[in-house]
Structure 1
Amino acid sequence: MNNQRDDLLAFAKVLDDKLANIAQQFDTPLFLLRQMVRFFRKQPTSEACWRSWGDLHEKLSWKFFQLHLHQAIQNAMKQTPRASSLVENLNSRLRNYFSLRKHLGTSYLGLLQFFINHRRFMSSDSEQRRGKSPGEMMTGEKHLHWLEMLGFKRFQRA
């Protein structure tokens, strides 16, 4: 499991990638933006918040007061889900597929993503979803069976 850490936690890069873009846009070191994220997550009335405020103000000087920088970081934080329920839901759905392999490489994850996005729902509480795949739901267009899309011929009963 330790060897798969990077593959399994690849989703965690989302916020870091957003922060890297903001750092480049505002010509600010990335590690300071990460500190600002931690600052924004603290309670404004806490002593730790004010210590962190002083530390960041000292390191960033006038850039600390740029409203656009604050807004960019806060928008990136708002647009990046960090609820553990999302991760747990995804983990519970994928756990069966992960236990089939000793190593999860990008090729296996790509195939798994394709399968999950193109496999049709067999039953659903919603009549709109029944018999459609997530890909069909997103595009609104019907597609071939996922095996046929990969170039295989489906089994036909006589």
Structure 2
Amino acid sequence: MSGRKGGYLAWALAGTATISDLAAQHGVSRKFVYQQADKASVALDDVFASAAPDEVLFARPVTRTWLRQLTLGLTMICYSSWRGVVELMRDMLGVAISEGTVHNVHQAAARQAGAINRGQDLSTIRVGLHDEIFQGSQPVLAGVDARSTYCYLLATAEHRDADTWGILLDASQQGLNPDYTIADAGQGLRAGQKAAWGDKPCHGDVFHIQHQCEGLANTLAGIAKGVRSRRKKLQTKTGKAYQAPDLGDRIALALRAEAGAHALAGDIRTLTAWLAHDVLALAGPNLEIPG
């Protein structure tokens, strides 16, 4: 099996890439990728099925470098906790390490990754996407290339003000000078960009608009549901011996309130869908391009 074919078959079997993407990247059909992946899966099954339970399938030297790689792989690929890494090393490999050692391995890897990241040329990024995410309660400043989705900024910070977003100045020293950026209306974020690039355009994102509209639609739907419950509760009181004299009027009012609440919730839900799919959605192909 060639390295090229083995590479995309590994991705297909692992499910780390879609069949469509693999076919497009390697210039083959989706059917071909499926066929090759099926053959590889059968071959792997045959290898493991034919081997005796205690037969050695392969061997490799275990070095300190490999143990560090395993430590990083367990946490970053398998999402293991540090304590889980300690237990696996002890129970499966007979290697005694501490959680402090796991921490030190990650810190060393972070320093090495930071040096590599600071050496990247960011001059080809034309559109930057900036936002603030959180690790617990700690802000993390993030920047992504809109075209490639390459993450060129991911930095923890104590605050989200203009000073901390001044980190964009550091990125500009690596050549980051996009035509424009897209971000929310955060004052610190926009002030930091202004300090880095002056009056460079920063367009508003659509996520927060859609999120707020969807929140409004959900709130109105909840109100309509509550109005319906109150109307049903009133109707259960009809025909009872001690029925209130104004019960009929109250039920009529509840029916009108219910109709209005459901109509409003439905209208806002429709407008929200139009906004998401017809107004703010990405533009499709030109009319002259067949679908």
Could you say whether these structures have the same fold, taking a TM-score greater than 0.5 normalized by the shorter chain as the test? Answer: no
Greater helix content:
1
Give the alignment's TM-score, normalised by structure 2: 0.16
Give the alignment's TM-score, normalised by structure 1: 0.25
Greater strand content:
2
